[in-house]
Each structure stands twice: as structure tokens, then as C-alpha cells.
Amino acid sequence: MTNPQSRPLTGGVQDFPTLESVQRQAADMRAHFVTGVTRPLEARRAALRTMKHWLKIHEREVLDALQHDLGKAPYESYVTELGLVYEEIDTCMRKLGRWARPRRVPTPLTVFHSTSTVYPYPYGVVLVLSPWNYPVQLTLIPMVDAIAAGNCVAFKPARESAATAAIMLRMAREAFDPRFVCGIPGSANMNEWILETHWDYIMFTGSPHIGKVVMAGAAKFLTPVTLELGGKSPCFVHRDANLKIAARRIAWGKAINTGQTCVAPDYLLVHEDVADELCRLIEQDWRRFYGDHPLECEYWPHMISDRHFKRVMGLIANHNPNAKVACGGHGDERTLKIEPTIMRGVTLNDPVMGEEIFGPVLPVLTYRTLDEAMRIARTFPHPLACYVFTDSKCVEQRVIHELQFGGGAVNDVCVHMSNNHMGFGGVGNSGMGAYHGKVGFDTFTHYKSVMKHGTWLDPTVRYPPFTPVKKTIAHLLMH
């Protein structure tokens, strides 16, 4: 399935100026899938090896592209992007034989003598629509899962992260037959063209607003979707928490990619007895991480665009008279960098609490009782993530069992999505479906249920006429 550079492409990004060419490409990929070439396990493993090999060879260029688009330090880009992709590839290659094996299941006595088997089967042509904030891992991890499941994959990277999008498109051209893996460049009308095209599965990562558009487009073809969206993810800090650990981990999680992270703690719910100390420690940790002048720190990332910079600065500037910026609050419009910022005294009516922040701003709300904190969290739609710092098993379990959220962590933030032995996904407004590891394989797999019934015996109990004897036998077998 590899595509040597010396071989001329028969399709690909240069062929997407019109709706018709997008639809033609999808049809070509579906015809390629029907040949069965993507389904043998060794073909899937070979494709994953090809992807990893290409990324390894071009690793420096990928990291440079991320630094250009988002200002990420190479280390941060590796541990939050490329490293996770490598782990996903290795996990899928190691477990694929077991995941893809047909599975025998019990069969009711009413259909004796029969055997029942569940066959994992790929959907066909999967479309991956990825965002700009983690443009490598949020493009490639779904692709890895879809390829492992035996599908062909088309993907459209976000235009905002242009340098990274270009290198992902280049990977598709250089490493794969375009009938198997194809990159679609963004353009003014591309979203409309994509949603007027028949795909067999759509994976979208982005905002709830665009998620609704994608879901409506998919409905035209009854195409199943997985939506990874976002929301205001709360972080509880109870009075019995280890504050030094909590502060350091919150400071780290909120600052990754300068807060442009879908699972970043969006706001803090802190017990009033420890709020002042926690904020002091978070500010102290930020200074330790990025210095006294983070806008001058070479490895402090920047906002993706001027529009997003101005939006987040507006959230900082507009607040009620009793609210204040406890630390940070400044930005540099030339570099698009914003200082890591804590806001105190905010209310639910402040703009910073009215939308997902997606920037390095941390509003702090305090509570006296856990019930009060839970009521605040419930005023928002179900978030993608939820975090709680506490040494109390009771507090931990209440948050886990009483709140609805996609996933989360106890005494940490963000790290749960790095474990590909667990699915990662949202619920309600924060998304539907999940992926990563086996859950990702399942997402892009249709499980065919097949029963094989022997012909050497054919009891007449199911056939008319329905006599009293047959009724008695049926009640005995199906009671």
C-alpha cells in the first residue's frame, strides 16, 4: 500500500477543485476498498509501519511545522503529539491480531444446532476532519485506528495550522496510494463539498457548533459519526487536596499549548479555605515554568491567529466590577502570546464563563460545600473532561458518579487521554463516540453477527400450523 515517490499519483490533493472531484475521489477509494486489499492484517500492519517510518524520517520537519503554527517547543510537540501517535501505532500493531479475530458467541437452544460468530469488518471509506490545536495527533491517531480496522481514509487538516497541514498532506502523497489514504486541503468551499459527499464513517474533532453541521451533513447519507467536541471542563480542588501537587499539575495542564487544549481545565471550583493559597502556588509554578516575563519566553506557545488572540484578550478585559486579574492578563499582539492568567471574583454571568476559553486564562470560583460546587458544574452542558483534586474517596466518588462528563482524572489533569487502553470521547454537548486503542478499532469497525444453522436437523416447531404441542415446546424453550 506504500506509494513510492517515483510512481505518478492517480488522485490526490491536486484533484479537489470541485464537488465533483471530491465525490469522484471518494468513489475511487470505495472501489479500492471493495477489492479487499486493505483488509488482510499484514496489509494493515504494513500501512502503519509505513506511516511511522515516514514520520520518523521527517520528525524534525513535523516538529518545526508545529513550532511555526503554534509556537510549541519541540519537546512539548513530541510528548503531546508525535509521541502519542507512535504509541497508538505500536499498540495497534501489537494487538491487531486479537482485535480482528472473529469471535464465537453462545447460541440459544431455540435454533439448535447452530453456531454464532461475530466478524469484525471495516466500514469502508472513513473521513477524518481534524482541528488546528493538535494538528498532528488529532489527525493521525484517528487515522491509525481506522487503518488498523481495515478502512481507507481521507482526511482534511485545518487550514489555520497551515504548515502542519502541508506536511500531513505531503505524508499522504509520498507514503500512500491515494486510493487508500488521501489528504484533502482546506478551501473556502471544502466543508460544503465534503458534506455533500458519501462517506462510510466520519470522525470530526472541533467545536459543538460545527459538530452539529457535520452531523446534519452525515444524516443525508445516514453516515455514522464520532464527534469529539469540547465544553467548559471543571477542575475541583477540595480543601483536603495536596495543594502543591494540585497547583503544579493544574499550572502545567492549563499552559500546554497555551490553553488551546480541548481537555484543559477550563475553570477552577476551589474550596474557599484553600483558594488563596492555590492561586498563589499556581502563579509561582507558572513563573518557575516560563519565567517572570512569559511573553518573552521562547518556548511559551502563542495563539493560533489574531482572531483567537483578540477573543481571549476580550474575555480577560470584560468582567464584572468585583472581578480582578490576579496574575497575568497581558498580551502581545505582535507575537500573539498571552500571559498565563488567573481571574478571581468572576461570576457565571461573566463572558469568561460563557464559552469555552481555549486560551491561558483560568477563572476561579469558590465554594463552601461540595453540593454548591456540583450545582455550579451542572449549570453547563456535559463537558469533555472533569478533574478533582482530593484525598477523600467520598469526594472523588461523588464527582465521578454524580456528574456527567466524557472522561477525567483524580489528582491530575489532561493525562487520561494519553492512555490508549481507555477510550477517549465526550458525551452530550461534548461529543459522541470515542477512540484510542481498542475503542478506536471498535469505532471504525462494524461487527457482523452471523449464525450458521445446520441442515441435518430441521425441527418443525417454528413452522405453521401452530399446534398446542408446539406452543408448549416454545414456552419450555423460551421461558
pLDDT in tens, 192-222: 888 899 999 999 999 999 999 999 999 999 9
Contact 412, 387 (CB under 8 A): yes
Distance in angstroms (rounded) separating the CA atoms of residues 429 and 233: 12
**Residue 421: which residues within 8 A CB-CB, separation 6 or more?**
437, 438
- Residue 122: pLDDT band by 50, 70, 90 thresholds? very high
> Percentage of residues in the chain with pLDDT exceeding 70?
96
Q: What is the mean pLDDT of residues 64-72?
A: 97
d(CA 456, CA 472): 24
pLDDT digits 0-9 by tens, 229-267: 999 999 999 999 999 999 999 999 999 999 999 999 999
* Structure confidence at residue 336 as a pLDDT band (50, 70, 90): very high
The β-bridge relationship of strands 201-205 and 225-228 is parallel
CA distance 160 to 256: 18
Read off the pLDDT of residues 269-317 as tens digits, 9 standing for 90 and up.
999 999 999 999 999 999 999 999 999 999 999 999 999 999 999 999 9
Cα separation, 426 vs 403, whole angstroms: 13
pTM: 0.93
Whether the predicted pLDDT of 17 surpasses 70: no
Q: What does the alpha-carbon distance between residue 233 and residue 375 come to, in Å, rounded to a whole number? A: 14
76, 228, 283, 356: which is the annotated catalytic residue?
A: 228
Asked if 415 and 409 count as a contact pair (C-beta separation under 8 A), the reply is: yes
Of all residues in the chain, the percent with pLDDT exceeding 90 is: 89
Element (H, E) at 104: strand 103-105
Nearest to 357 by CA among 470, 446, 234: 234
What are the structural domains of the chain? Answer: 13-229+432-448 (3.40.605.10), 234-425 (3.40.309.10)
Determine the pLDDT at residue 11: 42
Are 158 and 140 in contact by the 8 Å Cβ rule? The answer is no
Interval 361-384 mean pLDDT: 97
The C-alpha atoms of residue 361 and residue 278 are separated, in whole angstroms, by 15
Mean pLDDT throughout 28-48?
98
Active site residue 228: yes
- If DSSP codes are grouped into helix, strand and coil, which group holds residue 341? strand
| Residue 61 CB neighbour total at 10 angstroms | 15
Give the C-alpha separation, 181 to 1, whole Å.
Answer: 9
Question: Hey, what's the cell of 290?
Answer: 516560563
Q: Which of 235, 262, 327, 386 is catalytic?
A: 262
Question: 311 CB contacts (<8 Å, ≥6 apart)?
Answer: 359
Report the distance separating Cα 344 and Cα 366, nearest Å.
9
| Residue of 170, 172, 208, 213 lying closest to 191 (CA atoms) | 213
4: pLDDT strictly greater than 80: no
Only one residue has cell 460563557, namely 354
Detail the DSSP E strand segments found in 311-354.
Answer: 324-327, 331-332, 337-338, 341-344
Choose among 364, 412, 147, 183: nearest CA to 267: 364
What's the CA gap between 331 and 280, in Å, rounded? 21
CA distance 406 to 400: 11
Q: How far apart are CA 111 and CA 455, in angstroms?
A: 11
Alpha-carbon gap, residue 103 to 228, rounded angstroms: 29
296 included as an active-site residue = no
pLDDT digits (tens, 9 = 90+) for 132-178: 999 999 999 999 999 999 999 999 999 999 999 999 999 999 999 99
pLDDT tens profile 77-91: 999 999 999 999 999
- Predicted confidence at residue 86, as pLDDT, reads 98
Rounded distance between C-alpha atoms, residue 215 and residue 223, angstroms: 9
Residue 395, phi then psi, degrees to nearest 5: -65, -45
Torsion of Cα atoms, 370 then 376 then 380 then 386, to 10°: -30
pLDDT band (50, 70, 90) for residue 191? confident
Q: Is the pLDDT of residue 12 over 60?
A: no
- Pairs from 396-402 (Cβ < 8 Å, separation ≥ 24): 398/370, 398/374, 399/236, 399/374, 402/374
Q: Above 70 in pLDDT, residue 39?
A: yes
Cβ proximity of 32 and 180 under 8 Å: yes
**Interval 408-442: pLDDT, tens:** 999 999 999 999 999 999 999 999 999 999 999 99
Per the prediction, the chain carries an average pLDDT of 94
Give the residue-averaged pLDDT of 23-41: 97
| Residues 232/266, Cβ–Cβ less than 8 Å | yes
DSSP H stretches of helix in 58-159: 59-70, 74-77, 83-99, 137-148
Q: Residue 20: CB partners within 8 Å, gap ≥ 6?
A: none
Residue 8 banded pLDDT, cuts 50, 70, 90: very low
